[in-house]
Amino acid sequence: MSSGPFFVGVDVGTGSARAALVASDGRVLEQAVQTIQTWNPEPGYYNQSSDNIWQSICQVVKKVIGGVDKSKVKGIGFDATCSLVVLGPQGSPLTVSKSGDAEQNIILWMDHRAEQETQEINAFKNPLLKYVGGQVSLEMEVPKLLWLKRNLSKTFGKIWRVFDLPDFLTWRATGVDTRSLCSVVCKWNYDAANGSWNKEFLKEADLEELTQNNFEKLGSDVQPPGRVVGKGLTAKAAGELGLAAGTVVSTSLIDAHAGALGMFGCRSKESKGADDVQGKMALIAGTSTCHMSITRKACFAQGVWGPYQDAIIPGYFLNEGGQSIAGHLLDHVLKSHESYAELKAKLGEDRFIYQHLNKLLPELAAARGLSQVGCLTQDVHVWPDLHGNRSPIADPTLRGVITGLDMTRGTESLAIKYLAFVQALAYGTRHIIENLYQYGRAPFQTLLFCGGLAKNPLYVQCHADICNLPALIPDEQEMVLVGAAALGAAASGHFDSLESASKAMGGTGQLVKPNPDTIEFHNRKYKVFLQLLENQRQYRRIMQGDDTK
């Protein structure tokens, strides 16, 4: 292990809290993970607990810094899912559950209870919506706050503060209420162009109460990522985390944005000279997938969130696409198939089942005389939005479509269905890219991958082939944790800017090149992919009695 300095990165994902001890060159020296609790009381409702999450963070941080001198840990950065944390007087948790359980005080990002409220807010067509692709998402915070006001009025009336989860963590660590520009501009409809909350927008959304006392419930001190928060860790938080009081704490990032920060600085080993960060799309591919890219000039693209000014790296505008389910979708395909139980008994962990399927697919292609694995889905086509479309259609009511089903059973059937869904996710990424191009975005040069799906070679190769872009896989796969640590490194002054921290800690990666022999095949399948969307729309019109169009 190096002699320091060290930085701690903390990442709270959908199902776990993680921490890493990271060197100044971006190497992850130690890491730990702890499961966090989620309540799913009814379809579309997902609650968590801020106390449970903080306790889990304390456990993992203590584990990763156990073998080093505390004085050599110079900074800590937090990232987390964009979930809504609700606190009452003295920072006590307020319930977001119909059960009244105060412990359940977080509405998870993927919660879809605020569908009606989302539609009403979008109907006003406020000019701020141009920064979120034309319409607010039900995964964002303002619709959820309106749902709370209407359905849990006692909770809403007692609110002292509402936080995005990453900002809750910096407050819990420092006692200082500072909001990251990343969170508020990406998920709270903060007006970054004017550097203020928009009173008119909140009044239209029937949330005028949140405008009182200089927006104190929402937070009036908004800072870019990578800035120092307060005087660092409080004595109480330091004791809980096992670190020294006063350790520098950085303003936070949303989890996917931390992954993008880490990856934007990554370069291929073959790279020579400067590479332009504008040419990179970072895919943080796990339960869901976020598609992050930054430009010097703002790009307003319908159905893609942003442009968010200074949301990751100051001086750049962020565009954010995404798929609400990705890894979760593939898990559903796997676990709902009749062969899953047999494979689970034979192979054990799900990751070994995926490895088995990836190995089986070339064998099936060879047995059928096919030169490319992808051709196994010649007649099987999928639209993958079983949980709605985040980008670029921005329609949470869309559902999945599959065509080409036959009577085949067993593992062979599962393998081809799995391949078709992996390809569909890659066509979805191409759909986002081509939508950005329609609005004048500069061409991409590289796709970068981190997260659980980045460890799946089939997923990565399908993206390279279908998008016809090289894919870069960082040698250090835990790039969300590296990005979180880079926040602490920049805030501590070890680097002179967040961009410098990203470049210094991003490291190098392996390049996966697209197969030119698959271009024509995937161009045809992509046309079918788009046609599946039009078909679904047509079916809806027919069922609504309006099939004249």
Mean pLDDT of the chain: 96
Q: 270 vs 307, which has greater pLDDT? A: 307
Give yes or no for a contact between 435 and 390, defined as CB atoms under 8 angstroms apart. Answer: no
Q: How confident is the model at residue 270 (pLDDT cuts 50, 70, 90)?
A: confident
**pLDDT digits over 455-470, tens only?**
999 999 999 999 999 9
Return the pLDDT at 546: 83
Written as six digits, the tokens of 254 are 């949303």
- Burial (CB count within 10 angstroms: exposed 0-12, middle 13-18, buried 19+), residue 45: middle
Q: What integer pLDDT is reported at residue 549 of this predicted model? A: 55
Dist CA 248 CA 232 (whole Å) = 4
Q: pLDDT digit string (tens) for 311-344?
A: 999 899 999 999 999 999 999 999 999 999 999 9
pLDDT in tens, 112-147: 999 999 999 999 999 999 999 899 999 999 999 999
- The answer, yes or no, to whether residue 548 has pLDDT greater than 70, is no
- What is the gyration radius of the CA atoms in the chain, in angstroms? 23
Per-residue model confidence (pLDDT) at position 547? 72
pLDDT of residue 273: 62
Report the pLDDT value the prediction gives residue 4, as an integer from 0 to 100.
85
Segment 257-285 mean pLDDT: 89
* pLDDT for position 275: 77
**pLDDT, mean of residues 401-411:** 96
Q: Is 537 strand, coil or helix?
A: helix
Summarised one tens digit per residue, pLDDT across range 176-218 is 999 999 999 999 999 999 999 999 999 999 999 999 999 999 9
Q: Which CATH class is domain 327-431+519-543?
A: mainly alpha
The pLDDT, as a whole number, for residue 2 is: 72
- Backbone phi, then psi, for 481, in 5-degree steps? -65, -40
Between strands 471-474 and 446-450, the pairing is parallel
Domain boundaries, the chain: 327-431+519-543
474 pLDDT band (50/70/90 cuts)?
very high
Note the Cα 483 to chain centre separation in Å: 13
Q: Which residue has the tokens 């990165």?
A: 9
**Residue 61: φ, ψ to 5°:** -65, -45
> Angle of helix 350-367 relative to helix 411-438, nearest 10 degrees?
90
Check residue 304 and give its pLDDT: 95
- Give the separation between CA 427 and CA 391, rounded to whole angstroms: 12
pTM: 0.89
HSE-up of residue 75 (Cα within 13 Å, Cβ side): 28
Q: Please give the single-letter amino acid code of residue 277.
A: V
CA–CA separation, 56 and 104 (whole Å): 15
Which residues is 76 bridged to in the sheet?
A: 8, 249
Are 476 and 27 a contacting pair, CB within 8 Å? Answer: yes
Angstrom distance (rounded) from CA 311 to CA 288: 20
List beta partners, residue 75.
7, 248
